[in-house]
Chains A and B, each alone.
Chain A
Amino acid sequence: MEFAELIKTPRVDGVVLHRPFLPLVEGTLCLTGHHLILSSRQDNTEELWLLHADIDFIEKRFVGSSGTIIVKCKDLRIIQLDIPGMEECLNIASSIEALSTLDSVSLMYPFFYRPMFEVIEDGWNLFLPEESFKDLESMTDEWRLSEVNRDFSICPSYPPLVVVPKDTDDDTLLKVASFRHGGRFPVLSYYHKKNGMVMMRAGQPLIGPNGRRCKEDEKLINATLRAGKRGYIIDTRATAVAQQAKARGGGFEQEANYPQWRRIHKTIERYSVLQDSLIKLVEACNDQSHSMDRWLSKLEASNWLSHIKEILTTACLAAQCIDREGATVLVHGTEGTDSTLQVTSLAQILLDPSCRTIRGFQALVEREWLQAGHPFQHRCAQSAYSSGKLHGEAPIFLLFLDCTWQILRQFPCSFEFNENFLVLLFEHAYATQFGTFLGNSAAERATLKLPQKTVSLWSWVNRPQEMEGFVNPLYEPNSLVIWPSVAPQSLQLWEGVFLRWNRSSKCLDEAYEEMVHIIEYNKELQKKVNSLRRQLAQLETEGSPLHTP
Chain B
Amino acid sequence: MISVEQVRLLDRFSNKSTTGTLHLTATHLIFVESNSTSAQEIWILHHHIASVEKLSLTTSGCPLVIQCRNFRMVHFVVPRERDCHDVYSSLLRLLRPESYDELYAFSYNPKQNDRQREEGWQLIDLAAEFERMGVPCDQWQLTDVNRDYKVCETYPRDLYVPITASKPIIMGSSKFRSKGRFPVLTYFYQEKKAAVCRSSQPLSGFSARCLEDEHMLQAVSKANPNTRYIYVIDTRPKLNALANRAAGKGYENEDNYSNIRFQFVGIENIHVMRSSLQKLQEVVGTRALSVTDYLVGLENSGWLRHVKAIVDAAIFLTRAVTVEGASVLVHCSDGWDRTAQVCSLGSLLMDPYYRTIKGFMVLIEKDWISFGHKFADRCDQLDGDPKEVSPIFTQFLECVWQLTEQFPQAFQFSEWFLIQIHEHVHSCQFGNFLGNSQRQREELVKEKTHSLWAHLLSGQQNYLNPLYCPSYGYTNPVLEPSTLPCHFKFWRNMYHQFDRPMHPRQSILKQALTLKENNRELESIAQNLQAVSAIFHVISHVHQEDEDELVEGEEAREDIPVGSDGDRTVEGGSATENGYGELPLSCGSKPEPAMVSLEFGVARMTC
Q: How far is the CB of A219 from the nearest CB of chain B, in Å? A: 24
- When each residue 496-508 of chain B gets 1 if its CB lies under 8 Å from chain A and 0 otherwise, what string results? 1000011111111
- B291 near A491 with CB under 8 A, answer yes
Q: Which residues of A contact B407 (CB under 8 A)?
A: 507
For residue A404, CB closer than 8 A to chain B, the reply is no
Question: In whole angstroms, what is the CA distance A482 to B292 when docked?
Answer: 26
User: When each residue 480-524 of chain A gets 1 if its CB lies under 8 Å from chain B and 0 otherwise, what string results?
Assistant: 111111111111110000010011100110110011001101100
CB of A533 within 8 A of CB of B529, answer yes
B408 is contacted by which of A305, A483, A508, A540 (Cβ under 8 Å)? Answer: A508
Instruction: State in angstroms the CA–CA spacing of A493 and B291 once bound together.
Output: 12
* Segment of B71-79, B298-306, B425-433 engaged in the interface with chain A: B298-306
| Residue in A309, A476, A489, A547 whose CB lies within 8 Å of B490 | A489
Quick one: which of B308, B518, B605 has the most chain A CB within 10 A? B605
Segment of A1-9, A180-188, A314-322 engaged in the interface with chain B: A314-322
Most buried by B among A297, A300, A493: A300
Contact A413 B601 (CB under 8 A): no
Does the CB pair A324–B505 fall under 8 Å? no
Residue from B304, B519, B596, B602 whose CB has the most chain A CB atoms within 10 Å: B602
Give the residues in chain B near A208, CB-CB below 8 Å: none
A249 → chain B closest CB, angstroms: 25
Contacts of B312 in A (CB 8 A): 290
CB <8 Å contact, B485 and A515:
no
Chain B residue contacts of A305, Cβ below 8 A: 291, 295
The reply to whether the CB of B39 lies closer than 8 angstroms to some CB of chain A is no
Are B530 and A532 in contact, with the CB atoms below 8 A? yes
* Across-interface contacts of A410 in B (CB, < 8 A): 504-506
Q: By the criterion CB–CB under 8 Å, are A529 and B295 in contact? A: no
Q: Which residue of B lies closest to A318 (CB)?
A: B603
Instruction: Find A528's partner among B496, B526, B587 (CB 8 Å cutoff).
Output: B526
CB <8 Å contact, B308 and A480: no
Indicate if the CB atoms of A485 and B511 lie closer than 8 Å. Answer: no
Given contacts A532-B526, A536-B533, A547-B547, contact A316 B603 (CB under 8 A): yes
| A518 in contact with B516 given A488-B290, A508-B408, A543-B536 (CB within 8 Å) | yes
User: B482 at interface (Cβ–Cβ under 8 A)?
Assistant: yes
Given contact pairs A487-B601, A539-B540, A529 touches B515 in the complex (Cβ within 8 A): no
- Given that A507-B406, A532-B533 are contacting pairs, would A293 and B305 also be in contact in the complex, using a CB cutoff of 8 Å? yes
A292 at the A/B interface (Cβ < 8 Å)? Answer: yes
A536 x B529 contact (CB < 8 A):
yes
Is B206 interfacial (CB-CB < 8 Å)? Answer: no
Please indicate the chain A residues that have their CB under 8 angstroms from the CB of B523 in the complex. 525
Q: Within the assembled complex, what's the spacing in Å between the Cα atoms of A168 and B557?
A: 67
B597:A483 contact, CB within 8 angstroms: yes
Q: Across the two chains, which residue of chain B brings its CB closest to A542?
A: B540
**A539 to B533 alpha-carbon distance, docked (Å):** 8
**Tier of interface size on chain A:** 35 or more
Given contacts A411-B505, A486-B603, contact A547 B484 (CB under 8 A): no
Q: How far is the CB of A211 from chain B (nearest CB, A)?
A: 20
In whole angstroms, what is the CA distance A294 to B486 when docked? 10
Within the assembled complex, what's the spacing in Å between the Cα atoms of A217 and B607?
Answer: 22
Indicate whether A295 sits within 8 Å of B519 (C-beta atoms), given known contacts A413-B511, A491-B291, A511-B408. Answer: no
Given contacts A411-B504, A489-B502, contact A476 B519 (CB under 8 A): no
Set of chain B residues within 8 Å of A306, measured between Cβ atoms: 290-292
A299 touches B295 (CB 8 A): yes
- Which of B291, B305, B539 makes the CB contact (< 8 A) with A309? B291
Does B284 belong to the interface (CB within 8 Å)?
A: yes
Interface residues of A in 215-257 (CB under 8 A from B): none
Q: Chain A nearest CB: distance from B395 CB in Å?
A: 14
Chain B contacts for A530, CB-based, 8 A = 563
Tell whether, in the assembled complex, residue A525 and residue B522 are in contact, meaning their CB atoms are under 8 Å apart.
yes
| A311 to B170 CA separation, bound complex (whole angstroms) | 65
Instruction: Report if A413-B607 is in contact (Cβ < 8 Å); known contacts: A293-B299, A488-B291.
Output: no
Instruction: Identify which of A306, A309, A314, A507 gathers the most chain B CB atoms within 10 Å of its CB.
Output: A507
Least CB distance, B250 to chain A, in whole angstroms = 28
A414 located at the interface, meaning its Cβ lies under 8 Å from any Cβ of chain B in the complex: yes
**Which residues of chain A are within 8 angstroms of B566 by Cβ–Cβ distance?**
522
Interface check A42, CB cutoff 8 A: no
Contact between B550 and A547 (Cβ–Cβ < 8 Å)?
yes
Partner of B295, one of A316, A488, A518: A488
The answer to whether A262 has its CB under 8 Å from any CB of chain B is: yes
Please tell me if the beta carbons of B601 and A297 are within 8 angstroms of each other in the complex: no
Interface residues of chain A: helix, strand, loop or mixed (majority): helix
Q: Closest approach, in angstroms, between the C-beta of B164 and any C-beta of chain A?
A: 39
Contact pattern, B 511-532, Cβ under 8 Å of A = 1, otherwise 0: 1100110110011011001101
Residue from B294, B308, B606 whose CB has the most chain A CB atoms within 10 Å: B294
Shortest Cβ distance from residue A353 to the other chain B in the assembled complex, whole angstroms? 11
CB proximity of B500 to chain A, nearest CB, Å:
10
Q: How far is the CB of B535 from chain A (nearest CB, A)?
A: 10
Complex contact A546–B545 (CB within 8 A)? yes
Q: How far, in angstroms, from A6 to B484 measured CA to CA in the complex?
A: 41
* Count, chain B residues at interface, CB 8 A: 85
Chain B residues with CB under 8 Å of A324's CB are: 598
State which of B484, B515, B589, B607 has its C-beta within 8 Å of the C-beta of A522.
B515
B467 interfacial contact with A, CB 8 Å = yes
For the complex, what is the distance from the CA of A530 to the CA of B298, rounded to whole Å?
53
Q: Cβ of B305 and Cβ of A292 under 8 Å apart?
A: yes
A425 CB within 8 Å of chain B: no
Do the beta carbons of B486 and A295 come within 8 Å of each other?
yes
Q: Is the CB–CB distance between A514 and B506 below 8 Å?
A: no
User: Which residues from 180 to 200 on chain B have a C-beta closer than 8 Å to any C-beta of chain A?
Assistant: none
Chain B residues with Cβ below 8 Å from A297 are 295-296, 299
How far in angstroms is the closest Cβ of chain B from A303?
8
Considering the chains assembled together, what is the distance between the CA atoms of A540 and B540 in angstroms? 10
Known contacts A487-B13, A536-B536, A539-B540; decide if A314 and B603 are in contact (CB<8 Å): yes
| A480 and B593 contacting across the interface, CB-CB below 8 Å | yes
Residues of B within 8 A of A503 (CB): 482, 484, 487
Q: B residues within 8 A CB of A508?
A: 408
In the complex, what residues of A have CB within 8 A of residue B485's CB? 289-292, 294-296
Q: Which residues of B contact A296 (CB under 8 A)?
A: 295, 298-299, 304, 485
Contact B295 A264 (CB under 8 A): no
A168 and B505 CA atoms in complex are apart in Å by 42
B591 adjacent to chain A (CB < 8 Å): yes
Q: Which residue of chain A has its CB nearest to the CB of B482?
A: A503
Identity of the chain B residue whose Cβ is nearest the Cβ of A413 in the assembled complex: B506
Which residue of chain B is the closest to A526 with respect to CB atoms?
A: B522
B491 to chain A, nearest CB (A): 10
Chain B residues numbered 475-492 whose CB sits less than 8 Å from any CB in chain A? 482-490, 492
Report whether A529 and B522 are in contact in the complex, using a CB–CB cutoff of 8 Å. yes
User: In this complex, what residue of B is CB-closest to A518?
Assistant: B515
CA distance A215 to B487 in the complex (A): 56
Contact with A along B559-600 (1 / 0, CB 8 A): 000010010000000000000000000011101010011111
Asked if B466 is at the interface (CB within 8 A of a chain A CB), the reply is yes
Q: Please name 12 pairs of A and B residues whose Cβ atoms are closer than 8 Å in the assembled complex, sorted by A.
A: A291-B485, A295-B486, A297-B299, A303-B291, A314-B603, A321-B605, A482-B596, A490-B504, A502-B484, A504-B482, A522-B519, A526-B522
Binding site for B on A (CB under 8 A): 262-264, 285, 288-297, 299-300, 303, 305-306, 308-309, 313-314, 316-317, 320-321, 324, 409-414, 474, 476, 478, 480-493, 499, 502-504, 507-508, 510-511, 514-515, 518-519, 521-522, 525-526, 528-530, 532-533, 535-536, 539-540, 542-543, 546-547
Question: Which 9 residue pairs across A and B have the least CB separation, nearest first?
Answer: A295-B485, A488-B294, A300-B295, A511-B408, A525-B522, A296-B299, A532-B529, A292-B305, A317-B603
Interface residues, chain B, with chain A CB atoms under 8 Å away: 13, 284, 289-296, 298-299, 302, 304-305, 308, 312, 406-410, 466-467, 469, 482-490, 492, 496, 501-508, 511-512, 515-516, 518-519, 522-523, 525-526, 529-530, 532-533, 536-537, 539-540, 545, 547, 550, 554, 557, 563, 566, 587-589, 591, 593, 596-603, 605-607
Additional A-B contact list (5), CB under 8 Å, known A476-B589, A484-B602:
A314-B603, A316-B602, A474-B508, A504-B482, A511-B408
